[in-house]
């Protein structure tokens, strides 16, 4: 008898997970970063990463570090957005 293969997908971060695991991560990000405190903290993270401009004196190593930080903050924002859209679909399906 053949084993049932678990369906996986490549998530926003490039990692392979089940759809349920992806949805759970997105829901957690939505819960954390759509609260007033979460929005304030995410705005702070954006201000020190995505919205910061590096000057011409920045070294290759510094630039790589900055881009890594920007990637992580962008990932948090994308997961939060995805969690919000999942909730909208879930609410409309339950209503």
pLDDT, residue 92, reads 85
pTM of the full structure: 0.83
Neighbours of 9 (CB within 10 A): 11
| Pair 31, 83: CB distance under 8 Å | yes
The pair of structure tokens assigned to 5 is: 């293969």
Residue-wise pLDDT tens digits, 18-75: 999 999 999 999 999 999 999 999 999 999 999 999 999 999 999 999 999 999 999 9
The Cα–Cα gap between 3 and 5 comes to 6
pLDDT at 6 over 90: no
* pLDDT value at residue 89: 87
């Amino acid at each position: 008898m053949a084993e049932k293969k678990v369906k996986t997908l490549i998530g926003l971060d490039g990692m392979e997970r089940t759809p349920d695991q992806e949805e759970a991560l997105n829901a957690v990000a939505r819960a954390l970063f759509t609260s007033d405190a979460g929005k304030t903290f995410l705005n702070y993270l954006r201000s020190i990463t995505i919205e910061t401009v590096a000057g011409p004196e920045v070294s290759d190593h510094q630039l790589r570090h900055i881009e890594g930080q920007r990637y992580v903050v962008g990932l948090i924002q994308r997961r939060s957005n995805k969690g919000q859209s999942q909730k909208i679909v879930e609410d409309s399906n339950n209503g």
